[in-house]
Structure 1
Amino acid sequence: MTPLDTAHAAMQAAPDDDTARLRFYERLADGELFLLLESEAKGDSLTPQVFDLEGGPVVLVFDLEERLAAFTGIPAPYAAMPGRVIAAHLAGQGIGLGLNLGVAEAAMLLPPEAVDWLAETLDNPPEAVEARPVAFHAPDLAEALLTGLDAKLARAGGLADHALLAGVSYDDGSTGLVLAFIDTAPGAEAPLARAAGEALTFSGLDQGGIDVIFLAATDAATAPLTKVALRFDLPQPEVPETITPIAPGSDPDNPPKLRW
Structure 2
Amino acid sequence: MTEIDRAHGAMAANDEDDIARLRFYERLAESEVFLLLEKEAEGDRITPATFEVEDQSYVLIFDREARMSEFYGKDIAPYAALSGRAMAQMLEGQNMGMALNMGVAPSAMLIPAEAVDWLAQTLGRDPEEVEGQITELTPPRGLPDSLLQALDRKLATAAGLAVEAYLCGVTYEGGGRGHMLAFVGTIEGAEAALTAAVNEALVFSGIDAGMLDVAHLEGGDPVSERIAKVGLRFDLPTPQMPSQPGANPGMDPAKPPKLH
TM-aligned CA deviation for residue 206 of structure 1: 2.8
Alpha carbons 2:245, 2:252 under 8 Å: kept: no
Say whether residues 1:15 and 2:35 are aligned partners.
Answer: no
The equivalent of 1:209 in structure 2 is 211
The equivalent of 2:45 in structure 1 is 45
TM-score, normalised on structure 2? Answer: 0.94
TM-aligned CA deviation for residue 258 of structure 1: 2.0
Matches of 1:34 and 1:184, distance apart in 2: 31
TM-score, normalised on structure 1? Answer: 0.94
Determine helix, strand or coil for the equivalent of 1:209: coil
Greater Cα shift, 69-78 or 201-210? 201-210
Say whether residues 1:245 and 2:209 are aligned partners.
Answer: no
TM-aligned CA deviation for residue 136 of structure 1: 1.2
Say whether residues 1:124 and 2:125 are aligned partners.
Answer: yes
Change (3 A) 1:120 1:245: closer
Give the alignment of 1:130-149 within 5 angstroms.
130-140=131-141, 141-149=143-151
Alpha carbons 2:46, 2:259 under 8 Å: kept: yes
Determine helix, strand or coil for the equivalent of 2:8: helix
Give the alignment of 1:28-177 within 5 angstroms.
28-74=28-74, 75-140=76-141, 141-177=143-179
Q: Deviations over 1:139-172 (max 9, x none)?
A: 1211111111111111110111111111111112
Alpha carbons 1:135, 1:168 under 8 Å: kept: yes
* One-letter identity of the residue aligned with 1:134: T
Gaps of 5+ in 2: none
Matches of 2:209 and 2:178, distance apart in 1: 8
Give the total of aligned pairs. Answer: 257
Alpha carbons 1:182, 1:216 under 8 Å: kept: yes
Alpha carbons 1:136, 1:168 under 8 Å: kept: yes
Alpha carbons 1:160, 1:234 under 8 Å: kept: yes
TM-aligned CA deviation for residue 126 of structure 1: 1.1
Matches of 1:56 and 1:224, distance apart in 2: 55
* One-letter identity of the residue aligned with 1:221: V
Matches of 2:224 and 2:111, distance apart in 1: 44
Runs of 4+, deviation exceeding 6 Å: none
TM-aligned CA deviation for residue 252 of structure 1: 4.2
* One-letter identity of the residue aligned with 1:62: F
Q: CA RMSD in A?
A: 1.4
